[in-house]
A and B are shown apart, each in its own frame.
Chain A
Amino acid sequence: MTGATAPDSATTSETTTSDRVNGGEALIRSLEMEDVEIVFGYPGGAILPVYDPILDAGLRHVLVRHEQGAGHMAEGYAHATGKPGVCMVTSGPAATNVVTPLADAMLDSVPMVCITGQVALPAIGTDAFQECDTTGITRSVTKHNFLVTRAEDIPRTIREAFHIATTGRPGPVLVDIPKNIVDANNPDAYFEWEWPEDLDLPGYNPNLTPADVDINAAVDLIMAAERPVLYVGGGVLKARGAQALLELAEMTDIPVVTTLMARGAFPDKHELCLGMPGMHGNYTAVTAIQRSDLLIAMGSRFDDRVTGKVGAFAPDAKVVHFDIDPAEHGKVRKPDVSVVGDCRISMELLNEELRQRGLPAANPDRSPWRQQVSGWQEKFPLTYEQSQDGELLKPQYVIERLRDLSPSDTIVCSGVGQHQMFASQYWEFNHPYTWINSGGLGTMGFSIPAAIGAKAGMPDRMVWAIDGDGCFQMTAQELVTAAVEKIPVKIALLNNSYLGMVRQWQSLFYEERLSEVHLGYDVPNYVMWAESMGCVAFRVEDVDEVDAVIAKANEINDRPVVIEFRCHADENVYPMVPAGGSNDDVIVDPSQTPLLEAERAAAAIAAAEGETA
């Protein structure tokens, strides 16, 4: 083998400027070149050689307790900071354990780079120990993936991985690295270090700047609209476009709905903000879309949880769709005007063109529409009934108290289920990047590791994870990571002893035949469990104790805190659009159904009169 003496000959025959590295060193150095500050990871056989240079690296490694946790921490970090999250795990079972976070990041467009070890190249395809076809398995849950076959390709591949993950529509990228090319004992794993200037991606060139003609067409529709709604999705946050959105909405006086992925992109306290649309959206957000004559979809993708029955979604509305991903245009709803580009750049161009046309002075009078919308807001606010004496807590109440007793820029993470919907509904999000959840994939157990990732990236901010008892039991072990690594997150565990959302569906659609949804209040003992993991833990069962315990938790900043709130099991999430139903059939609350029917009858009469007039 010609390279057998390479390391030695390098030191003797090369000049002093020689910068020979092995693949493992090159990998860590490449991460440093990409300004990576934290890697969430877990070592193991095939990735072992990379864990040696980590000892000397200028980056922090957070040792997780399960590889899924590493992936979600990288996601939480990326959501909170806007920088790509990085996780690193070994081959085989470790790689399959990160499939869930990769799929999660794929559906929520989270920039993330995942490095997996792989068995040595000669062993690939031989069913070697801890071998799996990582690039094959993750192909459909990554934006792109790489299997690196030569040590000298590592810097370029890492650079391309970060470029792909963070540009265009962001997403997860996986780099699979066989053990032999990072092995310090393999002479062939050494090469002369070089950080590539250029990328070799002839097929990747995302279009950031929209065409003028499309912006003009969008402005034409906006100027002509009487009942427009800005339907804002996660793309606005990914594009760092909150400021441009505020300007657009205020200049045009157009109400804004923020989807589950966009909570915080527009301040909830703003008079133009209608809150969240969709299956558990509030009545006004849902109905404003349904009655609108122009839907300005901004970085949103017409997800089924927003549209309900697609054929009945915003039936009278023309659609202007802004999205950086051309494939989202026309995937679900055919737009009248399609604007492909980065949402922030698009909105800035849009605002500029609107000013050219004389706005804000020349803005059409939309007060009738605004009045109609505020009428709905007054008539159909979010409501729940406070618990009676001796009853367990209402989850909505707990979230309201958390909200009011924590700083307004608190970062809130959630798992998936009823608590997630309550959190999105009852928290008031007034800052971008303060809401982190698993929207697309609906990954239970997301909140604890995501909160840890967020807190690691934003150590000066308060981070609350609002979790359910089902979710908590899926990833709670990461609280050990939080305690040991001194990442003081706070967990509000809304323990209602049930898989609440499944129970809700069984109650409403399966004749209350509750099947396999009861978890129980007492086993595990959450307080003991949390304490055993190095957390401070409290249990709250009484309304009167809520504030004091939250205040106590908010003062602790050296350890993770868990508060178990014993919650009422019978509480259902409303409003609700039954799955597959039309958004016109939103149930605000079972008791309010007659009111809704009256409203609809009045609308029908008004529409009929409008036609005859």
Chain B
Amino acid sequence: MNRPGDLAHHTLSVLVENKAGVLARVADLFARRGYNIVSLAVAPTDDVAFSRITIVVDVESAPLEQIVKQLFKLINIVEIQELSAFDAVERELMIATIEAPTETRTQIVELVNIFEGKILAVGPAAITVSLDGAPSKIDDFETLLRDYGIRDLQRTGRIALPKMDRSVPVLRAVGDS
């Protein structure tokens, strides 16, 4: 199974105009050129005129360079950043409902605590948990949960931003006055 953390995957952070049909244009391009999308997350940015689409692409289906160039031909795409795990901060959210009869429930709770996740709901034989973090951490958590029986699971797909340049002090203005 393809996971967002696999090496053959690459993350593209795509700034688009926030207009009707833009997501369809992006999805359509991937479909018609035979590129594979591993995950996709879309939401408006702080400027309502733009949205950011974070796409994890399968670079084995096509060279990344071609994918980026073809994407950039879409008129509504304003900017594309290629983000590697080394120069980006990446997060993903997962929620899952796990089989949790009384005999294993404490073990699951313990796992959730170790991973610093949250318990969202508790039922007689199952609990719903959430975890946000780096995609690899979510992968590990999901693997461990699998032994207990996963009833439902949903991941958001990855969102990412470039890391800030460490050599530039971010809060330089503080001492100026």
Contacts and interface: CB of A to CB of B under 8 A. Distances in A.
Interface stretch (A138-146, A378-386, A515-523, A554-562): A138-146
Contacts of A139: 21, 24-25, 28
Interface in A147-198: 147, 164
B73 A325 contact: yes
B171 interface: no
B66 A203 contact: no
B166 interface: no
A144 B74 CA distance: 7
A76 B86 CA distance: 52
A140 B65 CA distance: 20
Nearest to B28: A139
Interface in B68-122: 69-70, 72-79
Nearest to A203: B78
B75 A140 contact: no
Interface string A109-148: 0000000000000000000000000011001100110010
B28 A204 contact: no
B32 interface: yes
Contact of B75 (A135, A143, A327): A143
A598 interface: no
B142 interface: no
Consensus secondary structure, chain B interface: mixed
A203 B17 contact: yes
Interface residues of B, number: 21
Nearest to A149: B20
Nearest to A164: B75
Contacts of A331: 66
Interface in B1-31: 16-17, 20-21, 24-25, 28
B78 A327 contact: no
A204 B24 contact: no
Interface residues of A, number: 18
A343 B74 CA distance: 22
A140 B16 contact: no
A326 interface: yes
B78 A330 contact: no
B28 A140 contact: yes
A213 interface: no
A201 interface: yes
A135 B72 contact: no
B25 A202 contact: no
Contacts of A325: 73
Nearest to B76: A203
Contacts, number: 38
A325 B20 CA distance: 26
Given A139-B28, A140-B28, A202-B78, A327 B20 contact: no
A330 B75 contact: no
B21 A140 contact: no
A201 B21 contact: no
Contacts of A203: 16-17, 74-79
Given A139-B25, A202-B78, A203-B78, A326 B17 contact: no
Interface in B34-74: 63, 65-66, 69-70, 72-74
Given A202-B78, A203-B78, A327-B66, A135 B21 contact: yes
B32 A202 contact: no
B76 A140 contact: no
B15 to A, nearest CB: 8
B24 A136 contact: yes
Contacts of B74: 203
Query: Of A164, A203, A329, which is in contact with the most chain B CB atoms at under 10 Å from its CB?
Result: A203
A253 B20 CA distance: 52
A471 to B, nearest CB: 27
Given A203-B74, A203-B76, A327 B28 contact: no
A89 to B, nearest CB: 21
B46 to A, nearest CB: 16
Contacts of A140: 28, 32
A326 B72 contact: yes
A203 B72 CA distance: 8
Contacts of A329: 69
A398 B77 CA distance: 50
A139 B29 CA distance: 9
A329 B65 CA distance: 10
A135 B65 CA distance: 28
B23 to A, nearest CB: 12
Contact of A330 (B16, B66, B79): B66
B75 A201 contact: yes
A500 B21 CA distance: 43
A171 to B, nearest CB: 10
B75 A144 contact: yes
A309 to B, nearest CB: 20
B50 to A, nearest CB: 8
Contact of B17 (A143, A147, A202): A202
A322 to B, nearest CB: 16
Minimum-distance CB pairs A-B, first 5? A327-B69, A203-B78, A144-B75, A203-B77, A204-B75
Given A147-B20, A203-B75, A203-B79, 4 more contacts: A139-B21, A139-B24, A203-B78, A330-B63
Interface of B: 16-17, 20-21, 24-25, 28, 32, 63, 65-66, 69-70, 72-79
18 contacts: A139-B21, A139-B24, A139-B25, A139-B28, A140-B32, A147-B21, A164-B75, A202-B17, A203-B16, A203-B75, A203-B77, A325-B73, A326-B72, A327-B66, A327-B69, A327-B72, A327-B73, A330-B63
